[in-house]
């Protein structure tokens, strides 16, 4: 473990011990000496009552810093009781994009109060970000961008930068705009430093990189940053006017949130769910998913009930039923996960969907043949009845092929319907594989019942 990691761990341990012993003055001192990201992590990993106490022990300056690193649900919980006047001192030093993200989580009345307390310039800057949804380039962008004109020389640019005294974080290129503030190119800082002072910006700038439209989705922005290895990128409106820029730290947040969304969505959970949140909040959030799952389970049970007489006469069917549904569910989930991931990476489009479906059907058929043979032989030996082995083998082959088709087509279909495939795909897929598996297995058994008895 590095010296820095060891030091941080000791700090957190000391703070936890002080909190447990009730020495709040020591807690206050230790907490306010922690870096903002670590203080935020401590708040997020504390139960609600402890979290409220820690929040109250933070100084006002540190509260504003820590706010930037808190998850949406925890941040909203801590701020929900504050009025606009109380919020302003906490958030006035936040970057415009961070402030916009925060205000979008608060009630409209509080947002209006906060906007009313800002000066005209800051209000206009903030409103220009709030005009765009938070999951778009416009919602992500930072308005603190340096722009220069193409007709000036690099010596003038250098003097301007020295006079500024400080560059915005992660500035690797300057935006080049004309007198109408239309984006025309990018000027790398390396060229400002290494080219001849008399070289004009027009001669030194690059013009082969397209700016990012403000209405582009955050996910697509992340893909562009990945493909181009970008540190920052300019954002323009529909008329080509420069609005701001997006930096890699914003994109990392998008990637992390997207990964959280995909992982949590598979279980019907919100990616911002507070791990240590109040019990009733968690109950409400999870009840919807459990209710939906119950309805799908009832549908599968209704199919089983149709064949109750068959099951009563051939008890072996009840023993083998879960195998068919389980294998179909696993096979379908593998395909579903692969397709959802490919969609998140922008790899799926109209021209390759047919190939993808054909490939997954072939995989389902081959896996179906292999495992249908294994399970069929096992069942035949187990119950000393080759016909039962044939029935479960045929049902498994059918279910694995259907599962592959459903896993490939469901995410694409749901997305076209405007439904999040990461959230709804698993429930629908499970219903399909259960219903098809039980129907195929018990239906074949019913058709061949005379020969089995």
Tokens standing for 233? 């990128």
- Reduced to 3 states (helix: H, G, I; strand: E, B; else coil), residue 429 is helix
Q: Is residue 182 part of a domain?
A: yes
Sign of the torsion formed by the C-alpha atoms of 60, 66, 72 and 78: negative
Phi-psi domain of 205 (left: phi exceeds 0; alpha: psi -120 through 50; beta: other): beta
pLDDT mean over 61-65: 79
Are 256 and 204 in the same domain?
yes
Whole-number Å distance between alpha carbons of 122 and 113: 14
Are 152 and 126 in the same domain?
no
The secondary structure of 195-220, three-state, reads CCCCCEHHHHCECCCCCEECCCEHHH
Report the CATH number at residue 128: 1.25.60.10
Q: Assign 84 a pLDDT band (cuts: 50, 70, 90).
A: low
CA distances from 221 to 136, 197, 212, 358 (A): 8, 34, 8, 30
Number of domains in the chain: 3
Spatial CA neighbour of 423 closest among 268, 283, 246, 281: 268
Q: Quick one: pLDDT at residue 275?
A: 63
- Out of 110, 135, 160, a domain closes at 135
pLDDT at residue 107 above 70?
no
Report the CATH number at residue 387: 1.10.357.20
Q: Are 131 and 244 in contact (CB under 8 A)?
A: no
% of the chain beyond a pLDDT of 70: 81
Are 257 and 305 in the same domain?
no
Q: What is the pTM of this model?
A: 0.63
Fill in the DSSP letter of residue 307: T
Whole-number Å distance between alpha carbons of 49 and 435: 46
Are 322 and 440 in the same domain?
yes
Spatial CA neighbour of 396 closest among 352, 351, 364: 364
Q: Quick one: pLDDT at residue 106?
A: 66
Q: Quick one: pLDDT at residue 9?
A: 63
Are 115 and 49 in the same domain?
yes
- Host domain of residue 357: 279-452
pLDDT at residue 302 above 90?
no
Tens digits of per-residue pLDDT, 182-234? Answer: 999 999 999 999 999 999 999 999 999 999 999 999 989 998 998 889 999 99
- Out of 239, 265, 291, a domain closes at 265
Are 235 and 284 in the same domain?
no
Sheet holding 242-247, edge to edge: 212-213, 232-236, 242-247
């Amino acid at each position: 473990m590095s010296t820095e990691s060891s030091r941080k761990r000791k700090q957190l341990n000391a703070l936890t011990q002080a909190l447990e012993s009730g020495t709040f003055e020591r807690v206050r001192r230790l907490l306010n000496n922690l870096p903002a990201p670590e203080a935020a992590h401590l708040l997020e990993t504390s139960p609600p009552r402890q979290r409220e106490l820690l929040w109250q022990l933070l100084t006002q300056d540190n509260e504003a810093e820590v706010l930037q690193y808190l998850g949406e649900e925890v941040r909203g919980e801590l701020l929900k009781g504050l009025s606009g006047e109380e919020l302003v001192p906490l958030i006035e030093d936040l970057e415009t994009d961070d402030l916009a993200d925060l205000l979008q989580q608060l009630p409209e009345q509080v947002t209006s109060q906060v906007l009313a307390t800002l000066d005209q310039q800051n209000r206009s800057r903030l409103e220009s970000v709030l005009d765009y949804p938070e999951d778009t380039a416009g919602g992500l962008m930072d308005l603190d961008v340096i722009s220069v004109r193409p007709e000036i020389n690099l010596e003038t640019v250098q003097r301007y930068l020295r006079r500024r005294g400080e560059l915005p974080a992660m500035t690797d290129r300057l935006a080049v705009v004309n007198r109408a503030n239309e984006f025309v190119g990018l000027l790398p800082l390396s060229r400002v430093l290494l080219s001849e002072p008399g070289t004009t910006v027009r001669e030194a700038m690059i013009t082969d990189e397209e700016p990012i439209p403000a209405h582009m989705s955050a996910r697509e922005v992340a893909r562009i940053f990945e493909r181009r290895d970008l540190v920052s990128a300019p954002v323009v409106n529909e008329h080509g006017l420069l609005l701001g820029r997006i930096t890699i730290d914003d994109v990392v947040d998008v990637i992390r949130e997207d990964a959280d969304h995909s992982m949590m969505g598979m279980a019907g959970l919100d990616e911002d769910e507070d791990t240590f949140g109040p019990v009733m909040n968690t109950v409400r959030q999870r009840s919807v998913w459990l209710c939906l799952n119950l309805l799908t389970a009832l549908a599968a049970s209704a199919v089983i009930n149709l064949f109750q007489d068959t099951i009563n006469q051939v008890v072996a069917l009840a023993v083998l039923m879960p195998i068919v549904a389980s294998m179909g569910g696993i096979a379908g989930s593998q395909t579903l996960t692969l397709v959802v991931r490919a969609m998140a990476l922008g790899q799926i489009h109209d021209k390759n969907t047919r190939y993808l479906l054909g490939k997954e059907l072939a995989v389902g058929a081959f896996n179906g043949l292999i495992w249908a043979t294994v399970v069929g032989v096992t069942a035949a030996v187990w119950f000393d009845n080759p016909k039962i082995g044939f029935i479960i083998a045929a049902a498994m082959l059918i279910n694995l092929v259907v599962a592959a088709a459903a896993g490939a087509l469901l995410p694409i279909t749901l997305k076209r319907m405007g439904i999040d495939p990461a959230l709804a795909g698993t429930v629908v897929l499970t219903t399909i594989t259960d219903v098809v598996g039980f129907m195929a297995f018990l239906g074949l058994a019913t058709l061949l019942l005379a020969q089995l008895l």
